[in-house]
Amino acid sequence: MTLIETLVELLHEEGPDKLTLERRNQYAAIFKDDPKLIQSLEGKEWTVGTSRQYFESLRDRLLEKNQGLAAVVGIPPVLQVNNLREITSAKRSADEHAVVIDSFVTTLLWTMDKAWAYGRNIAREEQDVLFCNLFVHFATLRSFLQQGLVWPRPKTPPHQTKEGLALLTFMVGAQESFLIGHELGHIYVDRGGELPKDPVCMRDFATSYTFLKPRDASIDQELLADELAFEFTLRAYQENESLEVVAVTSIFLLIRYHLWLAVICSNGEDDRDFTLWFGRNSLFREKARHICRGETLRSIVEVSELMEEAIEPAAFRAEKAFKLIREKADK
């Protein structure tokens, strides 16, 4: 076992990893003709290798579709750690690099995307309440787990069709590819890979956070890794325009979820988190404008308008609720 695999085992926290009866029944209704598939969705006892195969298949697609990338970054292992702290990280020990994905982000993406993709079938008021509760849940999970002040996770609409489940799986897979691509981007920079000649992230418009505070070198590093990740991921889905549209809009959703969470969790003193996500949002829009096709760009504008209409009001209500919980936590 490598040092980083040992770390992942040490950080692992016990948690429920079996399907609930309710979820099992939803899958059974969709896949009644395929009992083997249901069994495969049942879940297994957690080990370092449980999710490794899946995440490494996403990594392999990125390496395969980006010529020359593997020559610089090698084939770093991609491990999932079952705890609730970070999003993803690039880890380096004396003799290896590895990508580690926290279960917090995989749960967040699956749940928020499910509410987004299936939420179109429920009334607007219900969707609004659902998103507000989801934001408060994830904000408190991130901030007050140790104090035991975690807002309960609301129920999301059930799985009903194969097509819906396929769309959801694809959306989350594209977002996870982007996260893995971001960490590969850090390794690529660390190992002296050739950088874009005129990186978008270094232009003034993308670093619009500079009007908020002096330029921050660590934010610049993150935006450069994002720019590389965006290109790596786009190349992995570019063969098919429909897939490209869903992949790019899914990455946009990932950034927006976190931007809103940063707004909700901001304490008004240290706005670095908000600044980072705001910079990411600007970078993403500009990058998409430069390299995406017309259909993809139109989708981004549509998704952006829909999100602002459907989710943003819920995020602002969640901010007020979170402040009340923070006051309780501070006492």
Partner 1 sequence: MNKYAVEISPATENDIADLVLHLSALEGEPKIDLISSKGFGGATEVTLIISLLGSPIVVKSIAAVLTAWISRNEKKSVMLGKTKISGYSAEDVEKLLKKIKPK
Site for partner 1, rule CB under 8 A: 3-4, 6-7, 9-11, 13, 83-84, 86-94, 100, 105, 145-146, 179, 182-183, 186, 218-219, 221-222, 272-273, 276
Q: Tell me how far, at minimum, the Cβ of 127 lies from partner 1, in Å.
A: 28
Tell me which residue of 165, 172, 134 sits closest to 260, measured CA to CA: 134
Q: Tell me how far, at minimum, the Cβ of 181 lies from partner 1, in Å.
A: 11
Tell me which residue of 107, 118, 105 sits closest to 165, measured CA to CA: 118
Cβ contact 279:297 at 8 Å:
no
Which one, 20 or 93, has the nearer CB to partner 1?
93
- 206-209 contacts, C-beta under 8 A, 24 or more apart: 206/279, 206/282, 206/283, 206/286, 207/279, 207/282, 208/278, 208/279, 208/282, 209/275, 209/276, 209/278, 209/279, 209/282
Which one, 7 or 212, has the nearer CB to partner 1?
7
Q: Which DSSP state fits 225?
A: H
Token pair belonging to 179: 């996260």
Which one, 132 or 172, has the nearer CB to partner 1?
172
| Strand-pair category, 97-102 with 88-92 | antiparallel
Which one, 48 or 245, has the nearer CB to partner 1?
48
Which one, 219 or 315, has the nearer CB to partner 1?
219
Q: Measured in whole angstroms, how far is the alpha carbon of residue 241 from the centre of its chain?
A: 22
Which residues, 6 or more positions from 6, have their beta carbon under 8 angstroms from its beta carbon?
Answer: none
SS3 74: coil
Which one, 145 or 297, has the nearer CB to partner 1?
145
Q: Tell me how far, at minimum, the Cβ of 155 lies from partner 1, in Å.
A: 26
